[in-house]
Amino acid sequence: MEPTHEPELTHPVDLCTPNGRELDPRARGWSRTPLTRANLRGRWGRTKRWDYWAVLAGDLAFGLVYADVDYLGLVSVWWGDLATGASGGRDVAVPLARGVRLPERSGDAPLTWSGKHLDLRISPFGPGTGAAAREGERGTRIKASWTETDGTAASLDVFISEPEGHESLSVVIPWSRRTFQFTTKDQALPAVGRFRHGDRQVDFGVRPDRTDGGEAWGVLDVGRGRWPYSTTWNWGGGAGHAETGELIGLQFGAKWTDGTGFTENAVTVDGRLHKIGRELRWEYSWDDPMAPWRVIDPGGALDLTLTPRFDKHGATNAVLLRTEVHQVFGTWSGTVVGEDGVERTLRDAQGFAEESRNRW
């Protein structure tokens, strides 16, 4: 794989100029670990902050949102059973995002919400956090309990590990001096947990004392920035082992990065990030989201096809907020090429892909 043209950042940097209103030119670039402080100030209504976690656990998928989009806070838990098509969860919309607060650096503080139908706590663990999960472990603990709309009680308790030396993709997408987005996308994070829904209990992830839980992977999407009102994006990712045994993480996007000179495209091989600076070609149908989704690098770094098992379709039409998304969950198969030039084959790696259309 040929190296990207995008500059790699290796030292901490502020996202904005000191007044917090404009992009600091020194923040333009990408990094293997999060180095950017999102010192956003002013421009009320255009500033968006969120942490989104997903867990891919075989027949189960989970999505958790904690977001402040200035005029609205969003806190939600979702689950879907890819085998049966059942789904559930709970959403909370908070006017003016009262009580929804995200730090300038994701992971610097717990994210919490406590309400009538949903309690959520996302807690970082590791050096400097004042907490530890198990000896030597770094990661994130997510605990949620909620009441489904039909009155069923449900809960999720999951620990998502960050292995030593694991790399993620952080990048700034600069539409202009006044509209820009910092994002961290982290894939292939081992997860272990328990899901309860009524009388049903499911344990997932490979535990030290048992091997029947099946592989499960955490996915993190951090967003801090200033957005135009109308945006469409693709996002896809996943994780699994190549036929030769390496753990492969997949991370790619499209549409929203067009023309900026930067991408959110990368693969990881056993935790090492391989950045792709080219825009990828996506082939899929909005009108038929359960048909295969194919993502191709014209430079040859990857050719992968997602076979969907479940379509999470959602639409919101409010006064200031209009969104519609098809997020499909399934399995990726195909080939990826790392910086070492070796082609590796994936078969049935857990993953997802989406198109999201937004006016916000």
What backbone torsions phi and psi does residue 299 show, to the nearest 5 degrees? -85, 0
Residue 184 — very low, low, confident or very high, per pLDDT cuts 50/70/90?
very high
**Residue scoring higher pLDDT (217 or 71):** 217
d(CA 144, CA 337) in angstroms, rounded, equals 38
pLDDT at site 213: 63
pLDDT at site 129: 47
192: pLDDT strictly greater than 50:
yes
pLDDT tens readout for residues 142-161 = 999 999 999 999 999 999 99
Kindly report the pTM of this predicted structure: 0.95
What's the mean pLDDT in 60-73? 96
CB-based contacts of 33, cutoff 8 Å, min separation 6: 167, 168, 170
pLDDT at site 46: 87
Of 355, 354, 357, the closest CA to residue 328 belongs to 354
pLDDT at site 360: 86
Residue 128 — very low, low, confident or very high, per pLDDT cuts 50/70/90?
very low
pLDDT at site 207: 64
> Average pLDDT of the chain?
94
Run of H or E residues at 333: strand 322-337
pLDDT at site 133: 47
Residue 44 — very low, low, confident or very high, per pLDDT cuts 50/70/90?
confident
What's the mean pLDDT in 94-101? 94
Eight-class DSSP state of 78: E
What's the mean pLDDT in 6-30? 97
pLDDT tens readout for residues 253-306 = 999 999 999 999 999 999 999 999 999 999 999 999 999 999 999 999 999 999
What backbone torsions phi and psi does residue 76 show, to the nearest 5 degrees? -155, 155
pLDDT at site 74: 96
CA 287 to chain centre: 24
